[in-house]
Amino acid sequence: MTLVKPIAQANPDDWQAAGLLTRACAESGDAICRDSGIAHMLELHSRGITPQPLRDYAVEQIKVSDNTLVIRASLEPWGRYKVYYLGRVSDGKRNVFFRITLESSDFDQDTLARLHPKEAAGGLREFSLDAYRETGLNSNGQRTQTHYTYKFFIGEPPYETVREEFIKVANGTIIPMSSRSNLVTEPTK
């Protein structure tokens, strides 16, 4: 962190240095610096400083059992399910076999409005903690995966909560509310 901080401070619009500093802060346990860095990256993106194709960036890498979890923050929600955070769990050979997301899909917001009208009227969104495990090919040679839903949040949870929940999912210490296997219709992210 001591090497990156002066570079990031010398040019606050250097999005690469800002991203590296955010990761250095996260991986050193400096939550205030990390959260400030996440907010700064969003601000740089809103001003058009980040390159157009840049969708997300790595906030931190965490060892979970024999695997590695990399948590990525989205510069703006992307995809059909509006992904805000993406966790990729890889094995010792760096093969990604499990993805964890914090999502806020537009089609879930009607449920929030019905069940929590006051919160919805106040502009809050419903978020879900989901995961996707590759399950191979079916008998027709089509790629399949199992989708898990773990929990819901009213309003976007802070990064620290996302981090804690992603670690629980990656370690298998939280039980999903539901799961279903299905064909994969979009590329793995």
The domain ranges of the chain are: 1-54, 55-189
**Tens of each residue's pLDDT in the chain, 189 residues:** 788 999 999 999 999 999 999 999 999 999 999 999 999 999 999 999 999 999 999 999 999 999 999 999 999 999 999 999 999 999 999 999 999 999 999 988 998 899 999 999 999 999 999 999 988 888 888 889 999 999 999 999 999 999 999 999 999 999 999 999 888 865 554
Q: What is d(CA 93, CA 183) in angstroms, rounded to the nearest whole number?
A: 26
98 beta partners? 89, 133
In this structure, are residues 145 and 131 in contact, taking their beta carbons and an 8 Å threshold? no
Tallying the residues shown for the chain, one arrives at 189
Check residue 66 and give its pLDDT: 94
Strands (E), the chain: 56-64, 67-78, 83-90, 96-103, 126-137, 143-154, 178-183
3-state secondary structure of 6: helix
Give pTM, 2 decimals: 0.92
